[in-house]
Amino acid sequence: MLPVKEIFPQLYQQTVNMIYHRPVVKWLRSHILLLSTLILTGNGLYAQDGHALFQANCASCHSPFKDVIGPALKGVSERIPDKNLLHEWVHNSNKVLASGNAYFKGLYAKYNTPMTAFGSQLSDPEIDAIIKYVETAQPPGPPPTANGTTPAPEEDNTLLYGILTLILAIIMFVMLQVNSSLKKLSDDKEGIPAHEPIPFYRNKVYITFGILVLFIVGGYFLTEGAIGLGRTKNYQPVQPIFYSHKVHAGINQISCLYCHGNAWESKHATVPSLNVCMNCHAAINEYTQGPKLIREDGSEVNGTAEIEKLYSYTGYDPKTGKYTKPAKPVEWVKIHNLPDHVFFSHAQHIRAGKVQCQTCHGPIQQMDEVKQFAELSMGWCINCHRTTKVNFPDSTGAGNKFYSIYERFHNDLKSGKMDSVTVESIGGTECQKCHY
């Protein structure tokens, strides 16, 4: 008998991909197996929650595995066995430092950056969820070995549970069939006249059950699809050059603003012009040190060849170090797109709001191929605007001064200097209140 591999090469490849390729596993986890998780209790949801909390609150300064702005967090529960102390540190790091804790003082001296005080922003169970995630998180797979084998797939219990559910369902189905056959046999033996045997696909119970399942599954995908229409979350187009943010912003620690400097000053973050690439790539003409570059579909990328693509766009000759041919622009594919009727300014968010790039763009420093991390839906914007607190100027004058008028009104009302705030005081006579 021929092995499956030879009979159905494509199917075999797909099945292998399914097992070894993480996005597919993720897809399975989130879609099909969601139903089975309903049956098999909400296993794993808690750790997932910790992951999201970690990404939203900690990931801009901490990694579970590497020292970033702050220390690597893996093993934190061994280093600080006292959970209360750890909670206290996350809530108000200054207080812990002031109390003279030697361990945290040492950390402060080493990293020279104060830990953000989260106050009531994170509850104790949430901190515990984050720690649970950090302790169970596995580092991203090591660069594949020289012979190009795919790294072993990380353990994913959800997949296992899903398969188990499927097997159990099949067993149940078989047992039901066996049961009905046996019943028929025993009925025959006892002489009870058997009614016409009904094949399972005409059995009304099975049909009803099947329709019900189809209805639920179909309804789920229909709703998901309708909500997802017009949202391009996870959009990850193929770019003309395989530019890895992981290599540039992650491994080589280039500031986001080095290339996207306009984000500091304008509405747009902008894609840098080619001369900015050539600031470094006039000297760096091969990719030898970093990890292997792998496309999302699993194929390998030759980093040096990608740098040569840049040279072909700029007309640069790396041998002589001169620009010999006419340059042509790289037509990068825009990923994050806001509808025409939305005004969004990068400068306002990162300068006044002090929002980190990663808050909206996700762990960009870990992405080889950039994908849209956030939904960019209105609800997503609104949620952040609802929860973000305005950083009013403190006693030293540092902070967002734009809304200080409200703070002044508040203080004046409190001290009795004013008895009320009129519409005019809050900009009610601005021309554009009516004429826009």
Partner 1 sequence: MTRKISLFSLILVALIAVAAGCSDIKREPGRVYMPDMAYSRAYETYSVTEAERDSLFSKYGAHFSNTPVPGTVKRGAMFPFLLTKDAPGDSTNYVASKAVKNPLTSMDTVEAERLYLVNCAICHGPKLDGNGPLYKDGSGPFSAAPANLTGKAQYTSMPEGQMYYSVTYGKNKMGSYASQLNTQQRWMVIAYIKSKQAAGKTGAAAPAAAPAGAPAVAKDSTK
Residue 393 sits in the site that holds partner 1 (CB under 8 A): no
Residue 278 sits in the site that holds partner 1 (CB under 8 A): yes
Q: Quote the tokens at residue 47.
A: 């750790």
Q: Quote the tokens at residue 213.
A: 């399942």
Which range binds partner 1 by CB under 8 A, 104-112, 132-140, 328-336, 403-411? 328-336
Q: Which of 5, 26, 95, 433 binds partner 1 (CB under 8 A)?
A: 26
Residue 392 CA to residue 400 CA, distance in Å, equals: 5
CB 367 within 8 Å of CB 245:
yes
Q: Quote the tokens at residue 353.
A: 């709001």
Residue showing tokens 């302790």? 135
Q: How far is the CB of 330 from partner 1 (least distance, A)?
A: 9
Residue 261 sits in the site that holds partner 1 (CB under 8 A): yes
Residue 27 sits in the site that holds partner 1 (CB under 8 A): yes
Q: What is the DSSP letter of 201?
A: G
CA angle centred on 204, ends 199 and 205, rounded to 5°: 100
Residue 149 CA to residue 143 CA, distance in Å, equals: 10
Residue 207 sits in the site that holds partner 1 (CB under 8 A): no
Q: Which of 280, 378, 382, 413 binds partner 1 (CB under 8 A)?
A: 280
Nearer to partner 1, 23 or 75 (CB): 23
Q: Quote the tokens at residue 421.
A: 């705030």
Candidates 321, 99, 200; CA nearest to 91 is 99
Q: Which of 5, 7, 15, 83 binds partner 1 (CB under 8 A)?
A: 15
Provide the CB-side half-sphere exposure for 195 (13 A, CA). Answer: 3
Residue 301 sits in the site that holds partner 1 (CB under 8 A): no
Residue 275 sits in the site that holds partner 1 (CB under 8 A): yes
Residue showing tokens 């020292």? 67
Nearer to partner 1, 56 or 276 (CB): 276
Residue 305 sits in the site that holds partner 1 (CB under 8 A): no
Residue 182 CA to residue 42 CA, distance in Å, equals: 37
SS3 300: strand
Q: H or E stretch including 323?
A: strand 322-323
Residue 137 sits in the site that holds partner 1 (CB under 8 A): no
Q: How far is the CB of 424 from partner 1 (least distance, A)?
A: 32
Q: How far is the CB of 366 from partner 1 (least distance, A)?
A: 16
Residue 77 CA to residue 64 CA, distance in Å, equals: 12
Instruction: Using alpha carbons, list the distances in angstroms from residue 109 to 73, 87, 113, 155, 299.
Output: 17, 21, 8, 38, 44
Residue 296 sits in the site that holds partner 1 (CB under 8 A): yes
Residue showing tokens 């997949």? 159
Size of the site for partner 1 (CB under 8 A): 63
Residue 201 CA to residue 204 CA, distance in Å, equals: 8
Nearer to partner 1, 43 or 234 (CB): 234
Q: Which of 114, 142, 153, 329 binds partner 1 (CB under 8 A)?
A: 329
Q: Which of 145, 337, 383, 388 binds partner 1 (CB under 8 A)?
A: 337
Q: Which of 82, 297, 412, 430 binds partner 1 (CB under 8 A)?
A: 297
Residue 200 sits in the site that holds partner 1 (CB under 8 A): yes
Q: How far is the CB of 225 from partner 1 (least distance, A)?
A: 10
Q: Which of 17, 36, 356, 400 binds partner 1 (CB under 8 A)?
A: 17
Q: How far is the CB of 39 from partner 1 (least distance, A)?
A: 17
Residue 151 CA to residue 141 CA, distance in Å, equals: 6
Residue 287 CA to residue 300 CA, distance in Å, equals: 13
Residue 284 sits in the site that holds partner 1 (CB under 8 A): yes
Restricted to residues 156-175, the positions that interact with partner 1 (CB under 8 A) are none
Restricted to residues 227-256, the positions that interact with partner 1 (CB under 8 A) are 228-232, 234-238, 252-255
SS3 369: coil
Q: How far is the CB of 304 from partner 1 (least distance, A)?
A: 11
Residue 97 CA to residue 94 CA, distance in Å, equals: 5
Residue 7 burial (C-beta neighbours within 10 Å; 0-12, 13-18, 19+): exposed
Nearer to partner 1, 13 or 429 (CB): 13
Binding site for partner 1 (CB under 8 A): 11, 14-15, 17-18, 21, 23-24, 26-28, 32, 199-201, 228-232, 234-238, 252-255, 257-258, 261, 268, 270-271, 273-276, 278-280, 282-284, 287-290, 296-297, 313-314, 326-329, 334, 337, 339-341, 371
